[in-house]
Amino acid sequence: MTENVAAVVRPEFDYDAMRDDHGDLRAEFVDAVSKAIAAEDAVWLRGLVSELHEADLGDLIEALDSDERVRLVELTGADFDFSALNEVDETVREEILEELEPAAVAEGVRELDADDAVELLQVLDEEDQEEILDKLPPSERDALERSLDYPENSAGRRMQTDFIAVPRDWTVGEAIDFMRETAELPERFYEIYVVDGVNHWQGAVSLDRLLRSHRNVPLTDLVDEDRRKVSVDDDQEEVARLFGKYNLVAAPVVDSQNRLVGVITIDDVVDVIEEEADEDLKALGGVTSDEELSDRVWTIARGRFNWLLVNLATAFLASSVLGLFEDQLQQMVALAVLAPIVASQGGNAATQTMTVAVRALATRELGAWNAVRVVMREALVGLVNGVAFALITGIAAYAWFKVPGLGVVIGLAMICNLIAGALGGILIPMALERMRADPAVASGTFVTTVTDVVGFFAFLGIATAWFGLK
Amino acid sequence: MTENVAAVVRPEFDYDAMRDDHGDLRAEFVDAVSKAIAAEDAVWLRGLVSELHEADLGDLIEALDSDERVRLVELTGADFDFSALNEVDETVREEILEELEPAAVAEGVRELDADDAVELLQVLDEEDQEEILDKLPPSERDALERSLDYPENSAGRRMQTDFIAVPRDWTVGEAIDFMRETAELPERFYEIYVVDGVNHWQGAVSLDRLLRSHRNVPLTDLVDEDRRKVSVDDDQEEVARLFGKYNLVAAPVVDSQNRLVGVITIDDVVDVIEEEADEDLKALGGVTSDEELSDRVWTIARGRFNWLLVNLATAFLASSVLGLFEDQLQQMVALAVLAPIVASQGGNAATQTMTVAVRALATRELGAWNAVRVVMREALVGLVNGVAFALITGIAAYAWFKVPGLGVVIGLAMICNLIAGALGGILIPMALERMRADPAVASGTFVTTVTDVVGFFAFLGIATAWFGLK
């Protein structure tokens, strides 16, 4: 059977045998692997995992069943690249690591760069981490423990601790000879760093500058001393902004004494950028940032419950405004039918403004220097669209219910609510940012509460006055 | 006066004089520049712009007034780095380019890499582009025109056309000597490419591999032939996914005959990742992706109008369901007060599901292989939270209105609507994706329409049956 299996995937685990035109994994490929796992065809599986890029191996792992995942790692032993586990959802990673023998995990961890090892281990609780760290040689254990001591989301957690640091008085030739003669260089690097005798960072030399210079050129001629560096405690989001802004591929990480302790590379930063975008998007949608596609029903339901509870409270608040006008609603039931339209239109206009505001705050495009202008502009946009939709809604409402004046009433309410929505949509995120809360997480609830309450109140209040209801 | 100005910013345009602790531009700094522009202090301004990183210069330009921006470019002439204009909003860029003399723009464009020049020019309409291109030497003009001919958002538009290609039979030493002796190398590069006699791409050699190898090692020993390459017509989003997945810093771009025509580097890809995240976020918030913070009121209002109009239509549709039950609403006005709660809770639950679905589709985590499992899971989450909120809302509604049975009615409606929301939230984005529409753009409207209609219908329908209303 396994011969057949092999025939499907070979020659050489061709990329096209693995993925369809859309880039998705082929079901036949996943099936073939499942069958090989069931048949314990270790030889074939070892060949497979050592050919696959870690990212592809990660995708394959996610496509397998829970117990197949662990069996795959066990069957392939030393050929399995543990960095593939950093390519899968944290829930999946945690599950696999907990099922495996700590000694096996320790073996896998030893093969990783510090940043990858930290990323792998940080999903485990401290006890499980200790069990694995205990199986490592003391020097490697100490280094990892140090990295794990840095706060989550800090540069210290993300950095690689392998880097090339050379003395300031070397020439290009000396640096090149050093790299040719040193066996244990980082797996990938884009620049080397110049340090003084006690490891204080002095500057960076990019490899392309090194390569286009003659051997006798002193490094001091090439070194970039103005290069932005990162402090171990810096937040990863700050680091990502720096990379994006100055087009960096790597940045030195220094401790509080300006000693070079690591390097952050662009691949980690790309992950951060994607994570942060993910967080903002989910936060605006009312989903916690750690929800993952592989989570179980119960975990997801619980995670989403809190936000829905907050929303329920605000929905009751908005409805209590309707409750204030019970008598009027009974006298003119058209008001009950139309009120949600005013609230909904305001809510959507406010969401537009809020989305722009949250994004502009995240990218630092919106700040004290342009706040007044942007707020004014949003208010005007609210007015313009308020008037436009006042006309449309007014005509439609009159055409529907044929009540004279109803169009004017809903039109006026629409203008009020779109202006309120615009102001709420911009001022609430700005206020949250100033209070150092994350505008993406909390703005939505506040903003739609404003437009529900203002929408109902304006519409029913104006209607009560206009029609003389009581 | 300008002496004073200089004193504020110097020594050497120190970063801290320019930005506060938060990284925002200091108002005093911007003021100092404004004054120097007003005083036409070209010497000082030239010193300033040549010291500033293009990204910082871009931020400064955005902080200036419209006419100051153009004056700054004019006053600083050849010292002004036009790549700074790629760091500002497209609206601002277009405005500046249109104000400047075409000859001046052409001079600036000549200093740029092909990808930067294309990015700069593509905001202009064809006529304005031609005016500038006409001022360039024929060879540069042809190259730019070729790049501008590639479709928008394609790899061809994003690539740099400067790269290092060497023959397959060279050694490391020959490659290094070539780089040392060639004056016109790309400004920054991370790898070199091996090509055959007719420029067919053969593989990549990263600079770190080159540097750690001895001079006599043949390049064929170092070359990575499996490296993913990009085709000129590939969509930039596809390219970004490739970089993120395989941790690339550069990728060769080939034409349909596998001839090497350019290289895409990670800094361009970071821009793409940010743009795409921006697009998805804005699309979910009902804002067009090209809306920018510097746009005028009218442009913004018009851009947002369309989506609000669609929303208005769906709001009327939902309200027409309320209209069907006018008599029942009049008999029991509590129904009118509570109906928006059912709709709102469903809408929010659906938005949570939709957000996760849209993101998972964008990152390719959700596909045919796991669709059934994810849909089932979402339906179950809807059921679990539906039951939870049925209890909470039921008790609250009964406590409020003291109508026996009202709690049961709203509870049942809540369960229906949260399940409908969950299914709508996952199935609608998946259906849109299958129809090759962008799920981020269109899902929101459809999804909340479902929960509004189902919410009103379920609540009022169940109430009508339970209380025997007519």
B61, B119: one domain: yes
Q: Does one domain contain both A450 and A429?
A: yes
Q: Choose the mutation target among A356, A383, A389, A402 for the interface with B, i.e. most B CBs under 10 Å.
A: A356
Report the pLDDT value the prediction gives residue B165, as an integer from 0 to 100. 94
pLDDT given at position B10: 42
- Domain stop point among A280, A310, A329: A280
List, as one string, the DSSP characters of A83-103. GGGGGS-HHHHHHHHHHS-HH
Q: Is the same domain home to A50 and A184? A: no
A287 domain residue, yes or no: no
The beta-carbon neighbor of B273 closest among A238, A273, A341 is A273
* Other beta carbons less than 10 A from residue B395's beta carbon: 13
Do A330 and A415 have their domain in common?
yes
By DSSP bridging, strand A250-254 and strand A230-231 are parallel
Q: In a 3-state reduction of DSSP, which class is residue A11?
A: coil
Chain A residues near residue B92 by CB distance under 8 angstroms: none
Compare CB distances from A243 to B270, B280, B384 and report the shortest one's residue.
Answer: B270
Our CA-based measurement puts residue B232 at a distance from the nearest CA of chain A, in whole angstroms, of 17
Collapsed DSSP state (helix, strand, coil) of residue B25: strand
Verify whether the Cβ–Cβ distance B322 to A340 is below 8 Å. Answer: yes
Q: Is the pLDDT of residue A429 over 50?
A: yes
For B342, the token pair is: 């059912």
DSSP code, position A82:
G
Between B246, B333, B338, which is nearest A55 by CB? B246
CA B153 to chain centre: 11
Shortest CB distance from B369 goes to which of A27, A287, A336? A27
Q: Is residue B101 part of a domain?
A: yes
Residue B290 within any structural domain of the chain: no
Which residues from A are below 8 Å from B297, CB to CB? Answer: 377, 380-381, 384
**C-alpha B445: how far from its chain's center?**
21
Instruction: Look at residue A22 and tell me whether its pLDDT is greater than 80.
Output: no
* Domain at A174, CATH number: 3.10.580.10
* Residues B289/B278, Cβ–Cβ less than 8 Å: yes
CA distance B142 to chain A (A): 28
Least CA distance to B62: which residue of chain A? A365
Q: How many structural domains are present in chain B?
A: 3
Q: Judging by beta carbons within 10 Å of its beta carbon (0-12, 13-18, 19+), is residue A216 exposed, middle or buried?
A: exposed
Residue B287, domain member (yes or no): no
| From B296, B300, B315, residue closest to A344, measured CB to CB | B315
Q: Calculate mean pLDDT across residues A95-122.
A: 89
Residue A37, min C-alpha distance to chain B (Å): 19
- Which residue out of B266, B280, B383, B456 would a mutagenesis test of the A interface target, given it has the greatest number of A Cβ atoms within 10 Å? B266
C-alpha closest to that of B228 among B201, B209, B199: B201
pLDDT band at A14 (very low <50, low <70, confident <90, very high): low
Which residues of chain B neighbour A22 with C-beta distances below 8 Å? 367
Q: Do A343 and B340 touch (CB under 8 A)?
A: yes
Q: Do A311 and B282 touch (CB under 8 A)?
A: no
For A157, A264, B288, the CA distances from A146, given in Å and listed in that order, are 9, 16, 46
The runs of H, that is alpha helices, within B325-370 are 326-331, 333-362
| Tokens matching residue B303 | 């851009």
Residue A114 lies in a domain: yes
Say if the Cβ atoms of A211 and B297 lie within 8 Å.
no
CB contact under 8 A, A287 and B356: yes
CB distance A333–B330 less than 8 Å? yes
Please name the residue of chain B whose CA is at the shortest distance from the CA of residue A12.
B226
Tell me if A414 is assigned to some domain.
yes
* Residue in A closest to B14 by C-alpha: A226
Q: Do A396 and B330 touch (CB under 8 A)?
A: no
Q: Are residues B438 and B301 in the same domain?
A: yes
Residues A269, A186 share a domain: yes
- Output helix, strand, coil percentages for chain B, rounded to the nearest 5: 65, 10, 25
Residue B289, in any domain of the structure = no
Q: Compare A246 and B387 and report the one with higher pLDDT.
A: B387
Q: How far apart are CA B373 and CA A371, in angstroms?
A: 46
B213: left (phi over 0), alpha (psi -120 to 50) or beta: beta
For residue A406, the distance in angstroms to the closest alpha carbon of chain B comes to 15
Of B258, B284, B240, nearest in space to B447 by CA: B284
Query: Residue A316: its chain B contacts at CB < 8 A?
Result: 341, 396
Domain membership flag for residue B276: no
Residues of chain A with Cβ-Cβ distance to B364 below 8 Å are: 23-24
Contact yes or no for B293 and A380 at CB 8 A? no
Same domain for A203 and A134 = no
Answer whether B189's CB lies under 8 Å from B164's CB.
Answer: yes
Q: Mean of the pLDDT values across residues A421-435?
A: 95
Q: Are residues A347 and A306 in the same domain?
A: yes
A266-281 in b/e form (b: 16+ CB < 10 A) is: bbbbbbbbbebbbbbb
Domain co-membership, A135 together with A201:
no
| Same-domain pairing of A249 and A270 | yes
The CA angle B148-B153-B159, to the nearest 5 degrees, is 60
- The CATH number of whichever domain residue A71 belongs to comes to 1.25.60.10
* B183 and B118, same domain (yes or no): no
Residue of chain A nearest B286, judged by CA positions: A352
Q: What is the b/e burial string over B248-271, where b = at least 16 CB atoms within 10 angstroms of the residue's CB?
A: bbbbbbbeeebebbbbbbbbbbbb
Q: Which residues of A touch B277 (CB under 8 A)?
A: 273-274, 277, 280-281
Domain boundary among B158, B181, B201: B158
Residue with tokens 């103005």: A226
Partner residue opposite B285 with nearest CB, options A354, A364, A380: A354
Provide the pLDDT for residue A293.
83
Does A397 score more than 70 pLDDT? yes
Identify the domain boundary among B123, B158, B193: B158
**Contact assignment for A277 to B277 by CB distance below 8 Å:** yes
Residues in chain B where the model's pLDDT stays below 70: 1-15
pLDDT tens across A279-295, in order? 888 888 888 888 888 88
Instruction: Quote the CA–CA distance of B58 and B83 in Å, as a whole number.
Output: 9
pLDDT for the residue numbered B13: 57
Q: Which of the pair, A410 or B436, is modelled with greater confidence?
A: A410
Lowest mean pLDDT among A158-162, A258-262, B216-220: A158-162
Regarding whether B12 and B116 lie in a shared domain, the answer is: yes
The ipTM is: 0.81
Q: Where are the alpha helices (DSSP H) in B260-296?
A: 266-284
Task: Report the pLDDT value the prediction gives residue B441, as an integer from 0 to 100.
Answer: 83
Mapped onto helix, strand or coil, the DSSP state of residue A200 is: strand
Nearest beta carbon to residue A326 from set B297, B333, B368? B333
Residues of chain A with C-beta less than 8 angstroms from the C-beta of B307: 348, 352
**Contact between residue B264 and residue B160 where contact means Cβ atoms under 8 Å apart:** yes
Q: In whole numbers, what is the pLDDT of chain A averaged over residues? A: 90
* Among candidates B278, B364, B385 on the partner chain, residue whose Cβ is nearest the Cβ of A305: B385
Nearest to A340 among B319, B333, B359 (CB): B319
| Cα–Cα–Cα angle for B67, B72, B73, rounded to 5 degrees | 105
Which residue range forms the structural domain that includes residue A307? 297-467
Among A66-75, A125-134, B15-24, B306-315, whose mean pLDDT is lowest? B15-24
> In this structure, what DSSP letter does residue B150 have?
S
Shortest Cα distance from B62 to chain A (angstroms)?
9
Q: Is B134 exposed, middle or buried (0-12, 13-18, 19+ CB in 10 A)?
A: exposed
Q: Which residue of A has its CA nearest to B436?
A: A22
CB proximity list for A360: less than 8 A, separation 6 or greater: A366, A374, B293
